[in-house]
Amino acid sequence: MTILIVDDEKVYRLLLRDLLSQRGYDIVQAEDGQEAISKMEMMKIDFIISDVYMPVMDGFKFHQAVRARPEWESIPFLFVSAYDDHHTLDIIKKPKQEAFLKKGRPTSELLDWIKYLATPEEDRPRVKPGSSLRSL
């Protein structure tokens, strides 16, 4: 599975890259939504992990651009942010394909969300990962 990590914080991208590549995932990185779209146009992406607040094109606009394209509309999308206010959480429109994880949560929760969202809906557990997480 190829995971696209979109975040303007280089250190965070590198930490996620190392964590996920050690578990066998292929990783593509982008600093913002605009760069992410360019990369998505050149290669197949199976899963997106995106920060919400970034320069150039933020996670809100990036998410809208992804969902506007039929070939990308079903890609699982995990938002990550240090902010978990209502405005940020309102971005989740398709809870079967999207979730939110606050930065700083244990890496096991990130891995659980990837597994959960990447699993076909009919095969998913009834309980969503990280009961202490805000998810819709």
Question: Nearest Cα to 23, choosing from 110, 105, 97?
Answer: 110
Q: 2-123 falls under which CATH superfamily?
A: Response regulator (3.40.50.2300)
Distance CA 100, CA 51 (A): 10
For residue 123, pLDDT beyond 70? yes
Give the start-to-end residue ranges of the domains of the chain.
2-123
- Which of 37-51, 72-86, 99-113 is most confident? 37-51
Q: pTM for this one?
A: 0.87
Residue 84: how many other CB atoms lie within 10 Å: 16
> What does the pLDDT average to over 1-25?
96
Confidence of residue 23 (pLDDT cuts 50, 70, 90): very high
